Amino acid sequence: MFTPMDRLAASGMTVESLEANSQKTPAWRNRNSIFSTLVNIALGITGSSALATFYSLQGLFNTIQMFALVLTTIVPRKGYDVKDDWRQVFLGTIPNILALNFATTLMESIAFLLVFMAIAGVLLFIFHRSTAPCTRYSRFEAFQEPEKQGSGWRIVIVSFLLTIVYLPLSTMAVHVITWSEDLWAVPNPYVNATSFPPVVPPLGPPDEYRDPLDFCFTTTMKRNEINFAPVVVICALLTFAGLTISYPLALRSVIRQSIPKVDSYTEVGNVRSSSDLDREYQRLLSRDRNPLTFLYGGFRRGWATYESVYLFAKLSALLTVAVINPSNCLFRSFSQQKVAVVRQVILLIVTVIFFALQCIFAPFLDPVNNASEWVSRINYILTSAVSLGIALDIPGQSIINGPVLYVIYILTYGLTFYFTIIHLSIMQRLVKRLARRIDFSVDIFSPRLDISAHSFHTKRRIWQEAITTLLLTSPECRIPTEQQMHFVQAANSEYPPYLLDFAGSPGERHVENLKILREVGSLTFSKSVSLIAGPDFAWFRCLLEDIQNHYVGPDCYWRDESKPHIPGCTRYFGNAWYLPFPPTLVIRYDDGPLAVLQEVTDLQQYVAQNSSDNIGRRREIRMALRALDGKKVFWPHKHVMNVGSRSSWCCRGPRYKAQAPDYYESATFNLKRKGYLIWDGLQLGSGFDVEVVYTKNLRVDGSVIGLNDDYDLTAPLAQFLAMNHALIQRSLPHLGRVLADYRRHLQQECHRKTDVLTYRFLTHVYDQPRDPVGLAQSSIEFERDLRVRQLMVGSEAVFQVTYDRMQAVSGSEVATWWYIFWDDFWRRNYDTIHALRLHAADFDPHYPTSIAYTPLPRAALESFLVQRGLFHPVPKWGDFLHHGFLNKIYIRMYDIVFHRKSQANIFHLGYNRSEIDMEEIDLETQAQPSSLGTGGGTDHDDSSIRARPTFRWEGLLRDPLSSAHHRKILAKLGAWFGISPFWRAGGISQGVALDVRLEGGKYVLLEHK
């Protein structure tokens, strides 16, 4: 095996794992994978949505709880209309037990409400405490490191339990608020009543008992007993507000702060397409170590917060079933049949709306999960329709309420069980083998695939992969085993990423360079390297050092003269921090807006503004006030409070009879901040809202001491500072030392990173395949770290072998395409095709004996594949490679060799007689959106099966001949049922045809002159 790829194989890791410095957890001991499997098995029985992560396990209770609500419209909870005991158990008891709907009497309802409220209160407290760091992430500034996280089991279990009790507790709370039949102190007088309102005999003497129909919002019918209804209703309202409404909102907020951020560029610096972003997001989810992954890992990019949406969907069903109910105090005076019909109509409309939204948005990451959810939603619709039919008392109820209902159950459970099984990774690989499907990461047969001598595909797969492997497998340069790779990243990519907690290894710096490249792109990266390594670098370095020494941290000022006003900004002071590459200064204003400076002229203007005397005086005032933060200050204040009653409304406004003044001598001085940045116990975040606290109920803003938005030294402010001068002098030196230490630490870390590995290394070594002669020497001139120098000098053989590989595959376009084909063929299929693993040395491009380096004629290739069991002249079941697939290989190679020549292949689009080549076909079918996979290259050695639209030429070469374009309505049917992870996007083409002739019993290409 080529060096250094032999080190990669010996480590048992992939390039992706080395860059993340973490091994991907095997499915058999992965928390999300294990719970996902359990969910799929459970949901196959319950008819719920099949989800792919631990969050999906909650779907077991989600569906049963919603299904129990729908069933209560068919079978009342107390079973008055049920004749057969087994039917009551099947349709009433079991769903309500699983839904935790136990309450049937007043005391039981109150007891369960209090118990579940206590449990939910504890769980909510733990949830908010565990997720508190997530809520602060949006306020983090500069290089604030997140808190160390534990195993994450607590938040997993708590969120799971909260979702379980969400609907039962909300159900009981709504029943209390509407005072349903469960809480009535008397049996339901409306059941079997012959008149409306029913005639009920008195319960006893009128002076001792209430009216028999006056049972709403009371826990007793006796007038002389305590009524606990107000207490219970208040508890129910607190439950509804604290859990039913707030928990989904809190969950949504936490998820938004936790989802992984997708880089806009690939590792070769090219912009990712929308489809590339989706696939990268899937890859990041598979390696996401956030304990909250189970909450969003099953949803596609942009729909990570769907879990909270689903909770609100359950709430809408709850409100429909629980509120519009003839057996509660809101609707008891209406006709029971009419209320039941209205309820079922509304419930049917709601379920149809949810089904339509699911069809339109399809929020799940995997098409199989979307199909499973559709089946679940259809189940709700059909069950609601059956309930409506029963409420309308239509003929044939014995059939509708019997066999029809059971058929719905069987189909729902059967399909969901199928979706659960087919979604397992082992089944996906089995389906791939049975379907003899060959996967690629690029549109391998597209004429737009870059196969030039400088193809970024070969550069990424040979040179860049070897350089990364060399650095990350070297004992001296590799990332320390326990080191976690955490980056500061802007939510909307306003500024470049920055590696936190740098441990000093060249491997970390290399990965940071790659991260920056994926964030800013190759053009910006190269431009920035030229800036910091160009002829004016000495002058530019002085400018940057001036910024790092004096003008980072709080109390920095920036006002862009080209923008007269920044929306939402009234003060132009804020917290600034400097990112070394690309050279960027970021300032978060005290009012909240963000400004990013990257142009040299802006940086010069920034230094000029902050070094001016005017801004310096204002900064000194802010520093003096900052020194008083949290201190008891002396500042007399007279507070006048109006006492007495207001005058009547006709006298135009409030008027009071008297005024009572209060006099205060001292107060607590506080600074309220929007940002969060802690250094040496001092809060340095943005925000400078002054609050002077005299008492708990008397808080005034900075205007009381004469402070304005421009921080002018007004007479009251000067007097305030003078009165507290001694206090300021005691605190100001410590504040100055902390700020100096903070700036010195950041500057030293920037220099340390550059000393370990320069940013130039990426553009001049990693991204520039070149003759090894002189490579090590030129690198030593710029690299100062001894480990990197020794690695470069001692790895000349590695560079030579890697360069020879590049030269071998870049000699011609055919050689380049041949290498890309077999390299991608190996990477994407070795785990499912046994013969590839058996003959790895013949296929893996990391071996010099690989077929990827030797283009073969068709006869030689067929013989080569036959000897290794991958091809049979007479096709056999189970063959992955067949004559048709080889035809596509050699048609593409023939087109490359004879492109624009008389011997070139002549194609026809559909039945059109016009003679065109592959490029012209590609241009004519540009309207179809499936032009994926020809630009981004391969970022990682990933053999995972990921759902995606078919590539353009993947579809073109499969389309049957037709006279016109048409759209396939059920194009995603195979993806929905898990038979294939690919589907045809857009319309179906007219198909592609070649001119051939019959010769010796075989079709051969027709030669055109």
Arithmetic mean of pLDDT, 543-549: 92
Arithmetic mean of pLDDT, 731-757: 93
Which among 883, 907, 923 is the end of a domain? 883
Helix (H, G, I), strand (E, B) or coil at 55: helix
Same structural domain, 628 and 731: yes
* Choice among 16-30, 35-49, 623-637, 948-962 with the minimum mean pLDDT: 35-49
Residues contacting residue 148 through CB under 8 Å, at least 6 positions apart: none
On whether residue 479 sits in a domain, the answer given is no
pLDDT digits (tens, 9 = 90+) for 552-579: 999 999 998 887 777 777 888 999 999 9
Highest mean pLDDT among 66-80, 417-431, 692-706: 692-706
Give the closest residue to 625 by CA, choosing from 745, 705, 514: 705
The rounded distance, in Å, linking the Cα atoms of 907 and 995 is 7
Using the Cα atoms of residue 534, residue 540, residue 545 and residue 551 in order, give the sign of their dihedral.
negative
Q: How many residues are listed for the chain in this entry?
A: 1009
State the average pLDDT for the chain. Answer: 80
Give the closest residue to 772 by CA, choosing from 808, 796, 795, 804: 796
State residue 963's pLDDT score: 66
Which among 822, 852, 883 is the end of a domain? 883
791, 509 contact by CB (below 8 A): no
For the chain, the domain total comes to 4
Alpha-carbon distances of 522 from 456, 768, 941, rounded to whole Å: 12, 12, 21
Query: How many other CB atoms sit within 10 Å of the CB of residue 987?
Result: 19
Same structural domain, 120 and 204: yes
Lookup: tokens for 133: 């760091």
Give bridge partners of residue 998 from the DSSP assignment: 1003
Helix (H, G, I), strand (E, B) or coil at 422: helix
Lookup: tokens for 370: 């979307």
pLDDT digits (tens, 9 = 90+) for 960-1007: 877 666 666 677 787 888 788 777 776 777 778 877 777 776 667 666
State residue 799's pLDDT score: 92
Place of tokens 């006099």: 663
Arithmetic mean of pLDDT, 306-313: 77
Total-model pTM: 0.80
Lookup: tokens for 718: 């000067």
Same structural domain, 818 and 911: no
Give the number of C-alpha atoms closer than 13 A to the C-alpha of residue 667, restricted to the C-beta side: 26
> Does residue 854 register a pLDDT over 70?
yes
509, 753 contact by CB (below 8 A): yes
Arithmetic mean of pLDDT, 184-212: 80
On whether residue 977 sits in a domain, the answer given is yes
Arithmetic mean of pLDDT, 663-690: 88
The rounded distance, in Å, linking the Cα atoms of 268 and 250 is 39
Give the closest residue to 522 by CA, choosing from 816, 763, 760: 763
* Residue 939 burial (10 A CB sphere; 0-12, 13-18, 19+): buried
The rounded distance, in Å, linking the Cα atoms of 83 and 91 is 12
On whether residue 416 sits in a domain, the answer given is no
On whether residue 590 sits in a domain, the answer given is yes
State residue 381's pLDDT score: 83
* Choice among 84-93, 459-468, 588-597 with the minimum mean pLDDT: 84-93
State residue 469's pLDDT score: 93
State residue 802's pLDDT score: 93
Same structural domain, 704 and 853: no
The rounded distance, in Å, linking the Cα atoms of 361 and 350 is 16
Give the closest residue to 215 by CA, choosing from 223, 113, 191: 223
On whether residue 337 sits in a domain, the answer given is no
Lookup: tokens for 57: 């396990």
Query: How many other CB atoms sit within 10 Å of the CB of residue 106?
Result: 18
Same structural domain, 203 and 115: yes
> Does residue 832 register a pLDDT over 60?
yes
Same structural domain, 617 and 547: yes
Same structural domain, 115 and 191: yes
Same structural domain, 589 and 722: yes
Helix axes 537-550, 522-533, angle to 10 degrees: 100
Alpha helices (runs of H) in 455-596, residue ranges in sequence order: 456-458, 465-473, 506-520, 522-533, 537-550
Q: 86 versus 808: which is more confidently predicted?
A: 808
Same structural domain, 512 and 617: yes
Highest mean pLDDT among 162-166, 186-190, 411-415, 469-473: 469-473
pLDDT digits (tens, 9 = 90+) for 229-287: 888 888 888 888 888 888 888 888 888 877 877 777 776 667 777 777 777 777 777 66
Arithmetic mean of pLDDT, 868-880: 85
Helix axes 405-422, 367-391, angle to 10 degrees: 170
Confidence of residue 335 (pLDDT cuts 50, 70, 90): confident
Confidence of residue 219 (pLDDT cuts 50, 70, 90): confident
State residue 571's pLDDT score: 82
Lookup: tokens for 787: 């480990």
* Choice among 324-338, 439-453, 600-614, 787-801 with the minimum mean pLDDT: 324-338
Domain that holds residue 979: 898-1009
Alpha helices (runs of H) in 478-596, residue ranges in sequence order: 506-520, 522-533, 537-550
Confidence of residue 843 (pLDDT cuts 50, 70, 90): very high
Task: State the Cα angle at 298 between 296 and 299, rounded to 5°.
Answer: 75
State residue 984's pLDDT score: 77
The rounded distance, in Å, linking the Cα atoms of 820 and 810 is 11
Confidence of residue 582 (pLDDT cuts 50, 70, 90): very high
Arithmetic mean of pLDDT, 39-67: 35
Which among 315, 338, 354 is the end of a domain? 315
Confidence of residue 107 (pLDDT cuts 50, 70, 90): low
Arithmetic mean of pLDDT, 605-610: 93
Same structural domain, 923 and 879: no
State residue 405's pLDDT score: 77
On whether residue 908 sits in a domain, the answer given is yes
The rounded distance, in Å, linking the Cα atoms of 261 and 214 is 59
Same structural domain, 668 and 755: yes
Arithmetic mean of pLDDT, 171-193: 79
pLDDT digits (tens, 9 = 90+) for 493-543: 889 999 999 999 999 999 999 999 988 888 899 999 988 877 777 888 899
Arithmetic mean of pLDDT, 57-79: 46
On whether residue 790 sits in a domain, the answer given is no
Coarse DSSP helix, strand, coil percentages of the chain, rounded to the nearest 5 percent: 50, 10, 40
The rounded distance, in Å, linking the Cα atoms of 972 and 996 is 33
Arithmetic mean of pLDDT, 196-216: 83
The rounded distance, in Å, linking the Cα atoms of 847 and 9 is 11
Give the closest residue to 342 by CA, choosing from 355, 356, 354, 330: 330
What phi and psi values does residue 701 have, to the nearest 5 degrees? -90, -170
Same structural domain, 821 and 952: no
Highest mean pLDDT among 113-127, 319-333, 617-631, 869-883: 617-631
* Choice among 282-296, 571-585, 686-700, 793-807 with the minimum mean pLDDT: 282-296
Give bridge partners of residue 180 from the DSSP assignment: 328
Place of tokens 């559709």: 374
Give the closest residue to 539 by CA, choosing from 613, 609, 607: 607
* Choice among 418-422, 606-610, 788-792, 924-928 with the minimum mean pLDDT: 924-928
Using the Cα atoms of residue 301, residue 304, residue 310 and residue 316 in order, give the sign of their dihedral.
negative
State residue 112's pLDDT score: 66
> Does residue 659 register a pLDDT over 50?
yes
State residue 877's pLDDT score: 80
